[in-house]
Amino acid sequence: MSKQISKEMAGQGAPGDEFIVRVNFEYCEVIYSGYQILTRELIVELCEQLETDRQIVTPNMPGEWWEEFDVSDLKGAFTIHSDRAEDIEAMRILFGKAVGNTDLIESVLTECWYEEDEDEEVASIDHITPEIAERFLEDQESVNIREATSMDDAAAEVLSKLKGDLRLVNLTELSDAAAEALSKHEGYLALDGLTFLTDAAAESLSKHEEYLLLSGLTSLSDAAAESLSKHEGLLGLSGLTSLSDAAAESLSKHEGHLSLSGLTTLTDAAAESLSKLKGGLSLSGLTTISDAAAESLSRHDGECLYLSVTTLTDTAVEWLSKHKGNLYLDGLTTLTDAAAESLSKLKGFLSLNRLTTLSDAAAESLSKHKGGLDIWAVEELSETAADSLSKHKGEICDQDPAEWADSMRG
């Protein structure tokens, strides 16, 4: 999806809902192009600021050159690129909160940030007591519980009543009782500071029904994997660098998006198991996979598959082109003509965002692909390649293919 931001559109939902916002603006021969994750609340504020009559200073101008222009000139510069949880999680894992040049967002929002009461300091908390938890529920801006490393069980019970995002990203310990309490929380739950989870805690957290991020876990027992497979929302386990075949078999039963982007190796048996996953799958930590693993993953029936492998054989690409969903191969910097011919048969969206060049033959092949195509790193095309891609049946980099191709002609 790609749509213009508006207060009416962004204002319909919870303030903490997240979106990927695309920036695309050119001023004085400086191009601002990138993506940033913003909450609904900040998007509404962004829209409100665009309606004011103030001016902003252009960021990142060469040397000491700077200019001011009306903030209203930026009304067409921001679009919603995606509101899908799997896309947002993948971006956060691959790039963090932002990628590219998104300084214009900060420039627009800076004034409203500075208007905050600088005399009122928000206290950071090391340990969360029930009293602090109650205070947080009453006014989330009055206390910073993200810095907390520990928490009373009774405090977890209080926090479970929060309706909305709960980020306890520095919590280093979680009792079984606290895990049971937090499993009742309704909203995004981030516990990325945990490096260990008991089997009992995993069983409790499996009952949580929305996003569950446990990206600090460096190991996972087979029993814990079996429990977490019953979780039904987005599950982030991007801290795991290895996964037993038994754990992979268990996690394949998970019915939501699964992030295993920390894995550096994947056995053929694990790939075969994960191919049964019904939700999206992130394996963006892998630099290479075997042809056998690619064959297995081609049967993955989820909406999207993220692989940041830097090398793939033409055989592996041919297998992956049979994937039925969206395919992200953002680690590839080169693409053979044979690989491009295979990818032209992909039915879903195709992302090749590290690719910097395309041969005429590869461009001709990719022009036959019928889904959306992202190749943001390509800076210039030959006339022949541009003519080919101008006939692409889906958007290229969020643009009409003919318009995009014209902008890329060498």
CA 58-62-63 angle, 5° bins: 115
**Does residue 103 lie within any of the structural domains?**
yes
Does residue 351 or residue 100 have the better pLDDT? 351
Q: Are residue 68 and residue 134 in the same domain, yes or no? A: no
pTM (two decimals): 0.74
Rounded Cα–Cα distance for residues 298 and 319 (Å): 6
C-alpha closest to that of 206 among 220, 148, 146:
220
Which residue segment(s) compose the domain that 73 sits in?
3-114
Contact partners, residue 340, CB within 8 Å, separation at least 6: 358, 359, 361, 362, 363, 365, 366
Q: Are residue 99 and residue 202 in the same domain, yes or no? A: no
Each residue of 77-87: b (16+ CB within 10 Å) or e? bbbbbbbbbbb
Question: Domain boundary at 71, 96, 114, which?
Answer: 114
Give the pLDDT band (50/70/90) at residue 86: confident
C-alpha closest to that of 148 among 164, 162, 159:
159
Give the pLDDT band (50/70/90) at residue 3: low
pLDDT tens, residue by residue, 264-274: 999 999 999 99
Give the pLDDT band (50/70/90) at residue 113: very low
What is the pLDDT averaged over residues 189-199?
A: 93
pLDDT tens, residue by residue, 125-175: 899 999 999 999 998 878 889 889 999 999 999 999 998 889 898 999 999
Question: Domain boundary at 80, 114, 148, which?
Answer: 114
Q: Are residue 82 and residue 129 in the same domain, yes or no? A: no
Tokens of 120: 């009122």
Q: Are residue 166 and residue 95 in the same domain, yes or no? A: no
Rounded Cα–Cα distance for residues 359 and 386 (Å): 11
Helical (H) or strand (E) element with 190: strand 189-190
Q: Are residue 165 and residue 311 in the same domain, yes or no? A: yes
- Neighbouring C-beta atoms of residue 24, cutoff 10 Å: 19
Q: Are residue 103 and residue 136 in the same domain, yes or no? A: no
**Does residue 400 lie within any of the structural domains?**
yes
Q: Are residue 146 and residue 229 in the same domain, yes or no? A: yes
Q: Are residue 32 and residue 79 in the same domain, yes or no? A: yes
**pLDDT greater than 50 at residue 118:** no
Q: Which long-range contacts (CB under 8 A, 24 or more apart) does 247-253 make?
A: 247/220, 247/221, 247/222, 248/273, 248/274, 249/273, 250/222, 250/225, 250/226, 251/225, 251/277, 252/276, 252/277, 253/229
What is the pLDDT averaged over residues 7-28?
A: 75
**pLDDT greater than 90 at residue 98:** no
Which of helix, strand or coil describes residue 94?
Answer: helix
- Neighbouring C-beta atoms of residue 145, cutoff 10 Å: 25
Q: Are residue 65 and residue 87 in the same domain, yes or no? A: yes
**pLDDT greater than 90 at residue 202:** yes
Question: Domain boundary at 114, 134, 161, which?
Answer: 114
**Does residue 119 lie within any of the structural domains?**
no
Does residue 117 or residue 160 have the better pLDDT? 160
The CATH number for 325's domain is 3.80.10.10
The count of domains in the chain is 2
pLDDT tens, residue by residue, 309-364: 999 999 999 999 999 999 999 889 999 999 999 999 999 999 998 898 999 999 99
